[in-house]
Amino acid sequence: MNNKRLLVEGWRGISHSFAMVNQHQLLAWMDMRGLSLSHRDLPMYQPYWNSVDQSAGFDSQTAARLASLAGPDGGAVDAVYRINFPAALSPSLRPGTPQFTFIVTEYGLKPNYLCKTLTDLGALTRDGNAVITPSSWSRDRLVDFGVDAARLQVVPHGVCRQTFFPMAADERRALRRDTGFANEHFVFSNVGIASWHKGIDQLLVAFARVRRRHAHARLVLKNHRALYNTNISDYFHAVNELHPGLLSTEVMTSILLIDDNMDQEQLRKLYLCTDCYVSPYRAEGFNLPVLEAMACGTPVIVTAGGATDDYCFEPLAVRVPSALRNTEDHLLRGGRYLDIDGDALIEAMSACLLQGGRRLSGAAWESTLSKMSWHRAAQLALDFMFPAEQAQAIRAGVGSAGVHVAAGPRTDEAAAVALPTWAAEPEAPARLQPERPSAQLVQLASGAGPAQAHAAAAPDCYNPISYSIIKRRWLLQAFDGIERVQINHSQLHQDMFVLAVLNGLTGGTYLEIGGHEPVFINNTYLLESTFNWTGVSIELGSEYVQRHHNMRRNACVCADATQVDYEALLRDAGLGPVVDYLSIDVDPPEVTLAALKAIPHDKVRFRVITFEHDYSSGGAAVRQQSRDYLSSLGYRLVVNDVAWGNVVVEDWWVCPELTDAAVVERLTCVDGQAHEHDKYIYGKYLTGSGRLALPSRVGGQVAQAAPL
């Protein structure tokens, strides 16, 4: 039989979960006979991702092997497997060639999970196409949102047991000692990103209560600023606001924070130092760190009823009971999440601590892991992509049977928590060390990635770092009606800035040039939906205009923003001569500037303007020209170079005679430096005194938290 030709399109070289899954599957497929494999590197989702700063952490030999995989030769292939974000059909897909698209979801299928060019969800499951997802939970959520269940296959992730494996008891004690943990310390850990669906806030609350009872408890967390541009500090502040006094000095000095990237070996060492890995998630697509920790022999505590039900079986894991809830509309209409029993979580953590440093082993543990290898997962994917008689020819010495995936209906109340009886005896205690030195994870330099960084390109959409009610007290400038805001929608908090300048104005007006998505990362949706603003948007993309018509009350005009008769447009929309907000963002920046100049500024004044000059994308000249132009019109620059991570994007302006001078002065931040939008908008908690002292971060070290 001729080799089957499989083209994989995705990411290599970085540590994002999609890239890690892709790379592990590629390594497995490269070992398989009867498969001709090629790989096309797709643009990174975030423009700053690269294989140096966000290295995948493979050893040099493995990284070189991945980098050596050839690209497509232009010939026909039997199937395309596409694993990146957001989901889209391959532009190189030929008629009759099926595409298998990897999609994973936590709450449900958010609009930004699909590329803006993919307007028909059904295209992913028609004409031989199909969707692959890694868990029963993710499958159920996709079906909830309309994905054809008949063309949707669960292919679970795997674990590399050559990388993640246990360590002898004496070696583990030496590792913990060298790392800085005393023998009496009981170490909990979690390496998930700082996101609500990961339940980091719930873990902090539970650990704080456990630590009050057990002085030798420790918690290790991982920050992910380099990859996701998120900061775990929000969750420390949130817990401190909701539970005053809970994060005491004793608790904070027992929490350790890793701030650097970790390679695979360093991650294994963390799991080995850990006595119990705790993941009290609200929603997960798979939760790979749980499986990796189990492979290292580390006991785990997880939320019952979710993705980990597929591979976390008793007595190998503690599954904490939870209730199935509907997500709030501001998060995702129609989504689902798990509300964990907080008291049961504390009980489970305390019980595991009292049992001491036990490790997983035995027949049940071995049987579970044997069904969760990457080769097994890769073979299951091939069995789905190709007819069975053809897939039989593609083997790597492993069976063709798929791994076990738990099935059956879910109930609102998951099974009660049960403490496992670990198969191995507890390790013998060594001499206690009364001093508690700072814990320093050894050798935290980034691991080697592929030989070269893959090219970065602008993503189709961004995940905003959004406002939530727990951040209300941290706003640099509060405003009337703030209690009505559950979440913001702008990419850079532009909507919150406008409301701050105008003190929560109800019934305002806007002109939006460059509407793009009607809700997600949209600058005017919050103003329209929550504060009853009227206005008009201009958008060149007809598909976005149609979405506006379907999802928004106010008008959206399909037009070239540089050719619009603005005087007639504003008159027909009932706007002017004073409009409260001008949002202007058209690509490329030269067109944005041209659109700005096309407005008859002698006929209309704007109280607030957010102008996207895209300095980091070649907009240096446009930035200066726009500043000269707006200054000549009498506008005042309030915030220069608003940034998303290290990407400098916008300037924010006001009309001095139409805004409150005291408020504007408080909001002004013009100093020639870039200003990350979230750090600016929440300036009160970032710069105020007497706030919560966060765990220290010292380069590649795990350091103790500073006292309150």
Contacts by residues 167-174 (CB-CB < 8 Å, ≥ 24 positions apart): 167/272, 167/296, 167/297, 169/359, 169/427, 169/428, 172/272, 172/273, 172/427, 173/427, 173/430
Lowest mean pLDDT among 139-153, 208-222, 448-462, 564-578: 448-462
Q: Which residues contact 602 (CB under 8 A, 6 or more apart)?
A: none
Of all residues in the chain, what percent carry a pLDDT higher than 90?
60
pLDDT tens digits, one per residue of 5-44:
999 999 999 988 899 999 999 999 999 988 999 999 999 8
Tokens encoding 19: 């890239």
Environment class of residue 595 by beta-carbon count within 10 Å: exposed (0-12), middle (13-18) or buried (19+)? buried
Return the ∠ at Cα 87 (arms to 328 and 386), rounded to 5°.
125
Q: Is 444 helix (H, G, I), strand (E, B) or coil?
A: coil
pLDDT tens digits, one per residue of 243-264:
989 998 899 889 988 876 788 8
Tokens encoding 109: 């299928």
pLDDT tens digits, one per residue of 163-180:
999 999 999 999 998 888
DSSP conformation class of 223: -
The pLDDT value given to residue 393: 55
Q: Is 323 helix (H, G, I), strand (E, B) or coil?
A: strand
Q: In Å, what is the CA distance from 458 to each residue of 439, 489, 528?
A: 39, 20, 28
Phi then psi dihedrals of residue 629, to 5 deg: -70, -50
CA quadruple 49, 55, 61, 66: dihedral sign: negative
Q: How far apart are CA 39 and CA 7, in angstroms?
A: 6
The pLDDT value given to residue 494: 95
Tokens encoding 612: 């996207």
Environment class of residue 162 by beta-carbon count within 10 Å: exposed (0-12), middle (13-18) or buried (19+)? exposed
Q: Which residues contact 160 (CB under 8 A, 6 or more apart)?
A: 24, 264, 373, 374
Mean residue pLDDT across the chain: 83
Which is more confident, 401 or 95? Answer: 95
Tokens encoding 169: 């008891």
pLDDT tens digits, one per residue of 634-660:
999 999 999 987 789 999 999 999 999
Q: 46 near 36, Cβ under 8 Å?
A: no
Type of residue numbered 151: R
Place of tokens 């999440």: 337
Mean pLDDT, rounded, for 377-383: 94
Q: Is 514 helix (H, G, I), strand (E, B) or coil?
A: coil
CA 376 from chain centre, in angstroms, equals 27
The pLDDT value given to residue 416: 35
Rg (CA), the chain: 27
Residue 236 clears pLDDT 70, i.e. is over it: yes
- Specify which of 111-125, 145-159, 486-500 reaches the highest per-range mean pLDDT: 145-159
Residue 195 has, within 13 A of its CA and on its CB side, a CA count of 20
Tokens encoding 201: 């806030």
Lowest mean pLDDT among 11-20, 305-314, 475-484, 694-703: 694-703
H or E element that contains 256: strand 255-258
Q: How far apart are CA 586 and CA 9, in angstroms?
A: 29
DSSP per-residue codes, 120-170:
-GGGGSSTT-EEEESSHHHHHHHHHTT--GGGEEE------TTTS----HH
Of all residues in the chain, what percent carry a pLDDT higher than 70?
83
Q: How far apart are CA 453 and CA 67, in angstroms?
A: 10
Q: How far apart are CA 259 and CA 248, in angstroms?
A: 22
The pLDDT value given to residue 470: 56
Which is more confident, 315 or 466? Answer: 315
Residue 491 clears pLDDT 90, i.e. is over it: no
Mean pLDDT, rounded, for 196-204: 94
Place of tokens 């009292």: 354
Q: Which residues contact 568 (CB under 8 A, 6 or more apart)?
A: none
pLDDT tens digits, one per residue of 298-317:
999 999 999 999 999 888 89
Residue 380 clears pLDDT 60, i.e. is over it: yes
Q: 181 near 218, Cβ under 8 Å?
A: yes
Q: Is 431 left (phi over 0), alpha (psi -120 to 50) or beta?
A: beta
Environment class of residue 484 by beta-carbon count within 10 Å: exposed (0-12), middle (13-18) or buried (19+)? exposed
Residue 562 clears pLDDT 60, i.e. is over it: yes
Q: How far apart are CA 129 and CA 113, in angstroms?
A: 18
Environment class of residue 146 by beta-carbon count within 10 Å: exposed (0-12), middle (13-18) or buried (19+)? exposed
The pLDDT value given to residue 468: 60
Tokens encoding 12: 């290599």
Mean pLDDT, rounded, for 382-404: 56
Q: Is 229 left (phi over 0), alpha (psi -120 to 50) or beta?
A: left
Q: Is 662 helix (H, G, I), strand (E, B) or coil?
A: helix
Q: How far apart are CA 639 and CA 635, in angstroms?
A: 12
The pLDDT value given to residue 220: 93
The pLDDT value given to residue 568: 94
H helix runs in 288-416, sequence order: 288-295, 342-355, 363-370, 374-385, 388-391
Residue 348 clears pLDDT 50, i.e. is over it: yes
> Predicted confidence band at 231 (pLDDT cuts at 50, 70, 90)?
low
Cβ neighbours of 3 (radius 10 Å): 14
Q: 211 near 250, Cβ under 8 Å?
A: yes
Which residues lie across from 426 on neighbouring strands?
none
Task: Give the orientation angle of helix 342-355 with respect to helix 200-213, to 10 degrees.
Answer: 50
The pLDDT value given to residue 3: 83
Q: Is 502 helix (H, G, I), strand (E, B) or coil?
A: coil
Tokens encoding 474: 């941290």
Mean pLDDT, rounded, for 278-300: 97
The pLDDT value given to residue 515: 86
pLDDT tens digits, one per residue of 497-556:
999 999 999 999 999 999 888 887 899 999 999 999 999 999 998 888 988 888 899 999
The pLDDT value given to residue 332: 87
> Predicted confidence band at 435 (pLDDT cuts at 50, 70, 90)?
very low
Between β-strands 336-340 and 322-326, what pairing exists: parallel, antiparallel or unpaired?
antiparallel
The pLDDT value given to residue 436: 29
The pLDDT value given to residue 275: 96
Residues in the chain: 708
Residue 119 clears pLDDT 90, i.e. is over it: no
The pLDDT value given to residue 226: 54
Q: 12 near 67, Cβ under 8 Å?
A: yes
Of 96, 24, 100, 34, the residue nearest 65 (C-alpha): 24
> Predicted confidence band at 47 (pLDDT cuts at 50, 70, 90)?
confident
Q: How far apart are CA 364 and CA 551, in angstroms?
A: 51
Q: How far apart are CA 121 and CA 113, in angstroms?
A: 11
The pLDDT value given to residue 163: 93
Classify each residue of 545-568 as buried b or exposed e, where b means 16 or more C-beta atoms within 10 Å of its C-beta. Answer: bebbeeebebbbbbeebbebebee
The pLDDT value given to residue 432: 24
The pLDDT value given to residue 2: 63
